[in-house]
Amino acid sequence: MSERASTSDAAETLPAAGFFAERQPGRPGLALFLNAGDPPLDVLKDLIRMLDEERIDCLELAVPFPNSPTDGKVIRRSAKRALDAGMDLDTVLAFLADIKPHLRHIKIALLVDWSHSIKGTPMPEFLERVKVAGPHGVLVHGLPPRMRDEYYRAAREVGQPIVTTCYASSEPQVLAEAAEHGTAYIYLVAHYGRSGDVAAPEPSALRPIIASLRSQTETPVAVGFGVKDRSHIDALDAIGADAAIIGSTCVARIGAARMNRRDIVDDFRGLLVELGYAMPAPPKPEAEPLTTAQS
pLDDT, tens only, 201-249: 889 999 999 999 999 999 999 999 999 999 999 999 999 999 999 999 9
Query: 27 near 277, Cβ under 8 Å?
Result: yes
In percent, how much of the chain has pLDDT > 90? Answer: 79
Report d(CA 133, CA 114) in Å as an integer. 18
Res 35 pLDDT > 70: yes
Instruction: Return the pLDDT at 65.
Output: 97
Instruction: Return the pLDDT at 293.
Output: 55
In this prediction, residue 7 has a pLDDT band, given cuts at 50, 70 and 90, of: very low
Span 252-269, pLDDT tens digits: 999 999 999 999 999 999
Instruction: Return the pLDDT at 199.
Output: 72
pTM over 0.75: yes
Between helix 172-181 and helix 3-12 the angle, nearest 10°, is: 40
DSSP code for 196:
T
In percent, how much of the chain has pLDDT > 70? Answer: 88
Mean pLDDT of the chain: 90
The second-level CATH assignment, the architecture, of 7-275 is Alpha-Beta Barrel (3.20)
In this prediction, residue 197 has a pLDDT band, given cuts at 50, 70 and 90, of: low
Burial profile 41-52: b = 16 or more Cβ within 10 angstroms, e = fewer: bebbbebbbbbb
Q: What is the mean pLDDT of residues 54-59?
A: 97
Report d(CA 266, CA 264) in Å as an integer. 6
